[in-house]
Amino acid sequence: MTSFMKSGGNVMNEIRNNLCVLLWMFLHIPEKSQVEIIVQKVSPPNVTKTPEQQLREALIAAGLSQADEVQDDALTPLSEEMRVQLAERLSTVGPLSDLIIQEREADCC
């Protein structure tokens, strides 16, 4: 518990009076009730995340993005054989933009 006084207690009296009004108004504490107020210093959170990580977490929390379940270090590059196979399959479809438009139309309707 921390207590302090400044210049005859005027600051403390002001704080105490304002807190009492707030307690009566919002917490419905009866007048003349005895309460104990504890003042503690709160440290700011230790920010070790990059702005990109903070943005990603904010987007996920807002429902504007989904969490990635795959770790970046778990990704492996495609083999040359797999790249050739994918290139052949995509070349028969036509422009990639048309494929994306078709998928979007199929998802929405």
- pLDDT for residue 70: 59
In a domain, 103, yes or no: yes
Alpha carbons within 13 angstroms on the beta-carbon side of residue 64 total: 6
In a domain, 31, yes or no: yes
In a domain, 9, yes or no: yes
- pLDDT for residue 74: 67
In a domain, 51, yes or no: no
φ, ψ for residue 14, nearest 5 deg: -65, -45
In a domain, 13, yes or no: yes
- pLDDT for residue 16: 74
- pLDDT for residue 59: 84
In a domain, 65, yes or no: no
Alpha-carbon distance 105 to 28, whole Å? Answer: 56
Host domain of residue 3: 1-42
- pLDDT for residue 7: 46
- pLDDT for residue 81: 94
Counted domains in the chain: 2
Alpha-carbon distance 3 to 12, whole Å? Answer: 9
- pLDDT for residue 50: 83
pLDDT mean values, one per 10 residues, the chain (109 residues) = 49 74 72 75 75 84 76 76 87 80 81
In a domain, 66, yes or no: no
φ, ψ for residue 29, nearest 5 deg: -85, 130
- pLDDT for residue 9: 55
In a domain, 25, yes or no: yes
Residue among 34, 35, 38 nearest 1 (CA): 38
